[in-house]
Chain A
Amino acid sequence: MGKNWMGKEKYREIRPGRKPFKALYIKIALFALGRAMQSASNLDKNIKKEVETWPEGFTAMFKVLPRGPYISWMKEKGNTLVYKGESITEDEADLVIYFKNMENAFLVFSAQAGTAQAFAEHRMSLKGDLAQAMSLTRCLNIVQTYLYPDIIAKMVFKRVPHIPLPKKLFYRLIIIVLGIPLGM
């Protein structure tokens, strides 16, 4: 085989590189979202209402294709959503929302695109029942409303879910101070 000017083989194969910083960012963002969702499901009545419609033991997952990271939740007794991290496998999950690749996940988790837009742009795909995915998406919109500053929420949502301001600020505080770091 020929050698190029650097002395390396000219027709070498190129193994896939990695994006460690993006991967780390997404991992952290997914963790925060996972914990925030768990915490918000104990606080927000609209999320509770959605979760009530899911069967007990129902598991939902977010996964970045092809290698992860991923997170999952399970609906447990009393209509609470419990963050399960990576302890549930893809096959076990009833509903999986996939990001086609890391860049697509990054767009969503850096608040450059909303869930609706990401679905419309084929950046996400789905395993499972569409009706349950719609319900999960509504929960996600509510959780993101607690997490995002209002001007960002206005940009990524078609319509920002309505939450009275005092409640929004109070729950936001609980989610950020207790929910995400302590899992409460």
Chain B
Amino acid sequence: MLLLPSYYEFHNPVRIISGKKALDNLPSELESLGAKRPLVITDKGVSNAGLIKFIIDAFKESEMTIAAIFDEVPPDSSIKVVNTLAGIFTANRCDSIVAVGGGSVIDTAKGVNIVVTEKSDDLMKFIGAEMLKKPMKPLIVIPTTSGTGSEVTCVAVISDTDRDVKMAFSSNHLMPKVAVLDPRMTLTLPPHITAATAMDAMTHAVESYIGLQKNPFSDIHAMAAIRMIAENIITVVKDGKNEQARLAMANASCAAGAAFSNSMVGVVHSMGHALGGVCHIPHGVAMSIFLPYGLEYNMHKVGDAIGEILLPLAGSEIYAATPVAERPEKTVAVIRELRDELYNQAKLPRTLKEANVSPDKFEKIAQMAINDGSAIFNPEELEYEDAIGVLKKAYE
């Protein structure tokens, strides 16, 4: 029986437009938000892949001027670039933001939005959960990776390169106004990044489905996402130019984003954020490494939910052929097979050893993991010794 949580909240105010030539609606979407001079934010990887041309083309025959294009966002964003961009926003009389890129670009755009809305040059003041009270400038997001789901989340993660820490901001006001999912925007993503970001999306969906705050609405988004990812992940890694599969992955990561933005993520993300912080392992790679171990860690608490994931993950035949009691383990086994396949296709590491993480970093990673906010939403408590245990299992 489906048990309703005693209390939950679900919020997704983002308008999602998806499909063929979706991008060409950009000027009219901006116009309906009352915007006239958007600032376009992107990074070198995206602009070198030739994707900004699609943006510029979308504005042809419109009456809207792109006030500025900035393509120097660094990986994982930074406070410095947020402040630079806030200056550009003001100097060029911009009134809205268009983010074209992966999580790094999208989170930068959210950071810029905080600074220009609050008219403060100190991002630190707004660090925390639900600290932002003012409505922001219109932000439209065009994801070019299928992973973070940041186009529908209320979270921004920005690193403070001076102090070597990642700062987390969360507020409903950080939600973009529109997410544009256009198959053309992810075709150029190389196989390795495709695989890693897809596993990030998979982890969002899985962790939100087993998390403390799961609810009927987040569940539906998570299940749809898992199914789309399971059906398309190998195709997009093998054949990056397959538009249909690419669009399915863009939809999946967006749905997974809506799921975890509401029910949050857990131990896989706590461990992954720490691994990223200490060893600079890309977020998606870390997700792929820890996902099976995170599921095993929570198995005794949420085995039923883990078993239910088998249906979208492996399809109805395998699900029906697996006795209920064996489904949780089968789910983990199928995820392991998927990781093997991704290792063969794109050399995506499956263990800490394959990712060249040395065990002498474990203490530091574990310490950081238990201080990561997502640990609080995990079904099982995460203490230092537990984190060490997960790291040892994930080593080889």
Contacts and interface: CB of A to CB of B under 8 A. Distances in A.
Interface stretch (A16-24, A130-138, A166-174): A130-138
A159 B380 contact: yes
A150 interface: no
Given A117-B212, A122-B9, A126-B129, A131 B264 contact: no
A158 interface: yes
Given A120-B213, A157-B381, A158-B381, A127 B131 contact: yes
Interface string B114-130: 00000000000001111
Given A159-B380, A159-B381, A126 B130 contact: yes
Contacts of A13: none
Interface stretch (B240-248, B251-259, B370-378): B370-378
Interface in B109-166: 127-131
Interface residues of A, number: 24
Contacts, number: 66
B168 interface: yes
B54 interface: no
Nearest to B378: A158
B264 to A, nearest CB: 7
A4 to B, nearest CB: 36
B370 A134 contact: yes
The contact size tier of chain B is 20 to 34
A128 B128 contact: yes
A121 B371 contact: no
A43 interface: no
A152 interface: no
Contacts of B213: 120-121
Contacts of B211: 120
A125 B168 CA distance: 13
A130 B380 contact: no
A116 B371 contact: no
B379 interface: yes
A148 interface: no
A116 B376 contact: yes
Contacts of A129: 127-128
Given A130-B371, A135-B371, 16 more contacts: A116-B212, A119-B376, A120-B213, A123-B7, A125-B130, A127-B128, A127-B131, A128-B128, A129-B127, A129-B128, A131-B368, A134-B375, A138-B370, A159-B380, A159-B381, A159-B383
Interface of A: 115-117, 119-123, 125-135, 137-138, 157-159
17 contacts: A116-B377, A117-B212, A119-B376, A120-B213, A121-B7, A121-B213, A125-B131, A127-B127, A128-B127, A130-B128, A130-B373, A131-B373, A133-B373, A134-B375, A137-B376, A158-B381, A159-B383
